[in-house]
Amino acid sequence: MLRLTKGLAQLLQPTSRPLQDFEYKTLGVFVLLTCVSSLTLCAKQALFWFYDKQKETC
């Protein structure tokens, strides 16, 4: 756990070197997964809202 914390602290420090190719890919995958999970949650909430509205009208 300590190694992970140190690694995270190093990643968060500003650096003068450009990002490596694998870092761009990792960042892209993280952003993509975040967007997909957010959209999935929104769709789930919308479906439950629609289902509740249908239940009320019947």
Rounded mean pLDDT of 44-50?
94
Identify the band that residue 2 occupies on the pLDDT scale cut at 50, 70 and 90.
low
CB 30 within 8 A of CB 22: no
**Residue 16: per-residue pLDDT:** 66
36-58 b/e (C-beta count within 10 Å ≥ 16 → b): eeeeeeeeeeeeeeeeeeeeeee
Kindly report, residue by residue over 4-45, the tens digit of the pLDDT.
677 767 777 766 677 788 888 999 999 999 999 999 999 999
- pTM score, whole prediction: 0.55
Read off the pLDDT band of 3 (50, 70, 90). Answer: low
